[in-house]
Amino acid sequence: MPLNIIGSMVLEGPEVIRGWEYIKYYGPIVATVGALKYYFRGTTNTWERDLHGKVYIITGGTSGLGASIVDELAARGAQLILLVRSTNDYWLAEYIQDLRDKHKNFLIYAEECDLSSLHSVRKFATKWLDNVPPRRIDGVICTASETLPPYKERQNTIDGIEIQTAVNYVGHYHLLTLLTPSLKAQLSDRDVRVLLTTCLSQAMGQLDINDPLYLNKRYPKSHPWTVLGTAKLQLGLFAKEFQRRLLETPRKDGAPINIRVNIINPGTMRSPSTKRVLSFGSILGLFLYLLILPILWIFFKSTTQGAQSFIHTLMSPDFVNLDGGNFISNCSIYKPARKEFDDSELQKTLYDNTAIAIAKVEKESAVKRKRNELTEKQAAEAKGNLPKVEEITAEKSKPNNINAIQVKKNKDKVPLFPGFDTDNGSLQKENSKIKSTSTKSKTSGKSKKSKKL
């Protein structure tokens, strides 16, 4: 049948094909759209690697880019630990169960680690490090992000840090620096890879190494992407300095450093963050976003396509022999245009200033947290829900009669297994005393009778 059609087209021309008028008109348009879509989808990863038994920590793994990466890794059998704001979430439980059922992988868990709270990050890191022997970790994948639409007021975290800076930069900085002992404690033959996420906004960042937490600068409502770009720029500079310090610290066993830190640019995607920015965070903006969605479908990647560079960096053996601190996009290494990435002294200063600022903010937040706890306790005491401090002190000053009551109960208690019941050891001694006393009384009674006789 196809040969007949082709033969007719050759002999009589393409007009013999039914619907040729529509094909001639719409064909070039469809072909052009298909070619553009194919070009902008980016490169697909071609490396494969067995991930069974490997453990990865992932931030932002419940939506957008992170969810696509989680789906890819779960399909390959990796053990995944998703860091989330709260584990007390029915939707989260359903999400993890669906992943387990879909991939027959039951090694998917969630741990509470809110990147917008320095205290939450420290609690998770402390719990992770408080384990002997050290817990296995093959990689940390940082995809969590926070973007604000234009003309919205500044949003601060509980620590007073601007929200985009806190989630995109400070939270990941705090997490990785706290987990450094765990990363260094991995076996020498273990390939540990740390992946950070950057984006196009990095080119618009305005660096201020004296205020890395964005505590004092005025928030630009009309162009908040500069704040996001600054956070991504600082994250990239931190990655290069973090990798440098890891390589400069030798292992105790003399083996080569096996930790590699790289920065991934997934490209422009149709992600929840993109939708929030383009819709201006409003209903009308969302309607306009839906109108231009067909155009975005052509020129913007899906989150699955954006995840390919992450999968490539995890799978490819080439990154084992590289020093780290590389920028990857479309499954290949590229050099960023910002000159700050060539200034190692600037990177070191930013790293140290961020550590000092985080320590200061953490102390202030701890003081506020203790004050709030004390205020809440006093309020509860005023309502009568809790005993007052004076009552607790008076109660403690009373003589302790608990032991006497317990002894009295033990005297009346008959053990099930007297010879083996260790809890009734005192009772056994009491019984032996009673027996000896009764024996003495009987003996004394007999002696009195003999005297009378």
Catalytic residues: 232
Residues forming beta bridges with residue 327, ordered by sequence position: 263, 334
Asked if residue 141 lies in contact with residue 183, where contact means CB atoms within 8 angstroms, the answer is no
Kindly tell me the number of DSSP H helices and DSSP E strands found in the chain: 17, 8
List, in order, residues 6 or more apart from 60 with CB less than 8 Å away: 66, 142, 143, 144, 145
The residue count of the chain comes to 453
Interhelix angle for 308-315 vs 64-75, to 10°? 40
What DSSP character marks residue 167?
A: I
Give 276-284 contacts, CB < 8 A, sequence gap 24+.
276/147, 276/148, 276/149, 277/147, 277/148, 277/149, 277/150, 277/225, 279/149, 280/149, 280/150, 280/151, 281/148, 281/149, 281/152, 282/149
Asked if residue 260 lies in contact with residue 193, where contact means CB atoms within 8 angstroms, the answer is yes
Measured between alpha carbons, how far is 265 from 143 in angstroms, rounded to an integer?
Answer: 11
R_g of the chain, CA atoms, integer Å: 34
In which residue are the tokens 């991995």 written? 186
Burial class (CB in 10 A: 0-12, 13-18, 19+), 95: buried
Q: How many CA atoms lie within 13 A of 396 on its CB side?
A: 7
| Strand-pair category, 327-329 with 332-334 | antiparallel
Query: Which run of H or E residues covers position 358?
Result: helix 344-383
Task: Tell me the CA distances in angstroms from 231 to 84, 219, 228, 284, one per residue in order.
Answer: 20, 13, 5, 29
Q: Which of helix, strand or coil describes residue 115?
A: coil
* Distance from chain centroid for Cα 114: 8
Measured between alpha carbons, how far is 183 from 56 in angstroms, rounded to an integer?
Answer: 12
Single-letter amino acid, residue 443: T
Measured between alpha carbons, how far is 84 from 196 in angstroms, rounded to an integer?
Answer: 17
